[in-house]
Amino acid sequence: MGLGKRIIGGAAALALLGACGQPRQPAAAAAPTGERLVVRYQIVPELKPMAATITSRDQAEARARIGGTLVRLIVRAGDIVRRGEVIAVVADPKLGLETRGYDAQVAAAEAQSAGAAAELARTQDLYDHGVYARARLDQVTATARAAAGALNAARAQRAASAESGAEGAILAPTDGRVLKADVPTGSVVEPGESIATLTAGPTVLRIEAPEADAAGLRVGQTVVIASDQPGVAATQATIRQIYPAVDAGKVAADLDAPGLTLGDLVGQRVAVRLALGERQALVIPDRFVVTRSGVDYARLVSPNGGADDVPVQLAPGPSPGEVEVLSGLSPGDTLLAPGAGR
C-alpha cells in the first residue's frame, strides 16, 4: 500500500514538471487604433515644372513728343503714377526763340490790322457822305480783311509754336508703376524716344512654355504655384490667355492668380507646375506623414496587427494637403495616422 502511494506521487510530480517545462504562449497584441488609410493608385495630372514671371498684362511707354534735351526726370523705377501726370520735361531752346519770333509777327500783324480797320472806318464815313466811290470802299474793305486774316494766321502760328514747347512735358499714358526710367537728365532725346516704361492692365503671371508643350495648354486650365513662394499668397492660377505666336521656340501664356498684386514684385520669378497629361501615382494626405531628423516616415500597419514607422520618399502632391509617395509604400498597404496607438 505504501509502495503504490509512492508511485502515484512520483507520477504527479513528473506531470507537474512537464507542465512547467512547456513554453508560455504570448498574449495577443492589441490592434492599434486611429485613422487608417489604404494606399491605392490614383490618376493624377503629369505636372511639368516651369518658371513664371510676375508682370502686368500690358506695358505702356512714355515717349518724348519733341526732340531736345531732357531737363527733368521726375520719376524713378518703382514709383506709382496716374494717367496724365508729368513725369519728365524735354526742352528745346529753338522753340522758345521761334515762339518769340511769332510774337513779333503777331504784333506787326495786329498793327497792320488796326491800321486797316481805321482806314476802313474813315473810308466808310466818306463813302456815306458821297466823297468816295463804291470801288474805293471795296478796295479798303478787302485790305482790312486781308490784314485781319494775316493777324489770325500769325496768332495760329504762335499758338502752334507755344504748343510745341508745351509738348516738352512727358505725361504718363496710364495709371501704373514705373518699371524703367533710366534716361539720365541732360541727355539729348529724339521725338518718339521712350523715357519711361510703365505697367498697364491687370497683374498676371506669364509663362513661356516650349512649343512642344503648346498643344497641352488651354484657356481655363489650372496651374499649381509652389506654396513657398515669397510674396505670393495664391497656390493655384488659371490660364487666362495663350498668345498665338512662337518666339524663340516658346509660347507665352498669361495666368490669373487670386490676390496677386504688383507691389514690389514686378519681374519676380515664381515656380509653377503645369499639367500636360495624366499618370498613375500613390497619393496620400500629408497628415499621414511625420518628419524626424529630416527623414519622412509613414506608420504602416503590419500583418500581425502592429504598426511600424517606415521611411518614405515623397514629392509634392497634385493638390494642397497631399503628397506623392515615390518609394517606401506599395498599393494595398494600410497606414495609420501619426499619434495613434501602436
9-23, 71-85, 98-112, 236-250: which has the minimum mean pLDDT?
A: 9-23
Give the domain CATH number at 135. Answer: 1.10.287
Domain-embedded: residue 135: yes
Q: What is residue 16's predicted lDDT score, i.e. its pLDDT?
A: 45
The residues, ordered by sequence, that sit 6+ positions from 271 with a Cβ below 8 Å of its Cβ are: 49, 50, 51, 52, 225, 226, 229
291-331 tens-digit pLDDT: 999 999 999 888 887 888 899 999 887 777 889 999 999 99
Cα–Cα distance measured from residue 83 to residue 173, given in angstroms and rounded to the nearest whole number: 5
More confident residue, 12 or 339: 339
120-148 tens-digit pLDDT: 888 888 888 888 788 888 888 898 899 88
The Cβ-side half-sphere exposure at 78, using a 13 Å CA radius, reads 2
Q: Domain of 122?
A: 93-167
Beta strands in 104-217 (DSSP E): 169-171, 176-180, 188-189, 194-210
Q: What are the grid coordinates assigned to 152, written together?
A: 489770325
More confident residue, 17 or 79: 79
Q: What are the grid coordinates assigned to 297, written together?
A: 516616415
Cα–Cα distance measured from residue 61 to residue 178, given in angstroms and rounded to the nearest whole number: 10
Q: What are the grid coordinates assigned to 286, written together?
A: 500629408
238-290 tens-digit pLDDT: 888 888 888 888 899 988 887 665 555 677 788 888 887 788 999 999 999 99
Q: What is residue 159's predicted lDDT score, i.e. its pLDDT?
A: 82
Residue 162 is given by DSSP the state: H
Domain-embedded: residue 325: no
Q: At 287, is the secondary structure helix, strand, or coil?
A: helix
Domain-embedded: residue 104: yes
Mean pLDDT score of the chain: 80
Phi-psi region at 293: left, alpha or beta (left = phi > 0; alpha = psi -120 to 50): left
Domain-embedded: residue 140: yes
Q: What is residue 312's predicted lDDT score, i.e. its pLDDT?
A: 93
Cα–Cα distance measured from residue 15 to residue 3, given in angstroms and rounded to the nearest whole number: 19
Please state the pTM of the whole predicted model: 0.52
Give the number of domains in the chain.
Answer: 1
Domain-embedded: residue 209: no
Domain-embedded: residue 127: yes
Domain-embedded: residue 123: yes
Domain-embedded: residue 195: no
